[in-house]
Amino acid sequence: MIRLEKLRKEFDDLVAVNDLQVVIPEGEIYGLIGPNGAGKTTTIRMACGLLEPTGGRLFISGVDVHQEPERAQQFIGYLSDFFSVYEDLKVWEYLDYFAHAYKMPEAEIPARIDEVIHQVNLEVKRDEMIKGLSRGMKQRLGIARAVIHHPKVLLLDEPASGLDPKARMDLRNLLRALCDQGTTVLISSHILTELEGFCTSIGLMEKGVMIRSGTIEEITAAETHYRVVRLSWVGDTAALVESRLKADGKISGVMLSGSEGIFKFAGSEEELAAVLSALVASGVRVVSFTEVKQTVEDLYLKLSRHEVM
């Protein structure tokens, strides 16, 4: 649905985006992650046609954004990090204005306005003036504006910036719902926890370069050669647990405290299941035995060189 082919952007001597190669399938929520100055906003602005790339090509739904800009726009919904609203309009009037700007068929516009107002949960504000909306409500209205014309791709630049925790959760739920309906979302953030447990795939970007791209599981598998496992048990069997774990050649880094512990395991899932079976067979009353998954922040801190432009 979104394809970047050696996408490059230079500003005089500065290479803001350096030959990006990314493919984002339909229905994905792809998180573009990196510090301020990594090139995220420049990438998104090229993706929506606001910036001309210095080199490379960018396709949305098979259409070259810069060769066929008008055709590409029918597939794209875009919300910048700082966007303006017309505060002297009512909510429905604002959406009506943009529906006409996108040249939607006149007969379809009223029903579509009601539909997106429901999607973003602004029904009670339909006839309110925009100047009376909270920051979170304006953010939801901005997304409603971006999707009013049924775009296949939604491009969001730092959409959670400045939102309170409740508004961020509402934003996540809204984007998941759009994704379930087939929308492909490209979303950027420099706050890693905003995208945790939310994106289906991520791209770690720094100094204009894509460090890694893929699902969290794929990147974890490529960068980590062991699993981290946490376990707990009942009873006075710490010495038995320690001896059993240390006797396994695939286990290292055993650390126990009281009736719980953690260790590294360099084996397959089947072999890890066998470790659990052996502990239980030896008389250890295991309460929990869980692999500790790496977070987006863990991956970024491991791979990043912590450089900005």
Report pLDDT digits (tens) over 154-187: 999 988 776 777 777 888 888 888 888 889 999 9
User: What is the residue whose two structure tokens read 């505060």?
Assistant: 87
Report pLDDT digits (tens) over 189-248: 877 666 766 788 889 898 899 988 888 777 776 666 788 899 999 999 999 999 999 999
* Alpha-carbon distance values, 25 to 175, 182, 186, 188, 201 (Å): 16, 11, 11, 17, 10
| CATH architecture of the region 225-293 | 2-Layer Sandwich (3.30)
Q: What pLDDT is stored for residue 155 in this prediction? A: 95
CA-based radius of gyration for the chain: 24
Residue 207's contacts (CB-CB under 8 Å, 6 or more residues apart) are: 18, 37, 38, 39, 305, 307, 308, 309
Report pLDDT digits (tens) over 115-124: 999 988 899 9
What amino acid is encoded at 183 in this protein? T
What amino acid is encoded at 237 in this protein? T
CA distance 303 to 309: 17
- DSSP codes joined into one string, 37-72: TSSHHHHHHHHTTSS--SEEEEEETTEETTTSHHHH
Q: What pLDDT is stored for residue 193 in this prediction? A: 66
pLDDT classification of 45: cutoffs 50, 70, 90 = very high
Mean pLDDT of 77-82: 89
Query: What 3-state DSSP class applies to 188?
Result: strand
Q: What pLDDT is stored for residue 309 in this prediction? A: 44
| CATH architecture of the region 2-217 | 3-Layer(aba) Sandwich (3.40)
Q: Domain-by-domain residue ranges, the chain?
A: 2-217, 225-293
Lowest average pLDDT, out of 16-20, 225-229, 270-274, goes to 225-229
pTM summary value = 0.76
Inform me whether the pLDDT recorded for 297 exceeds 90: no
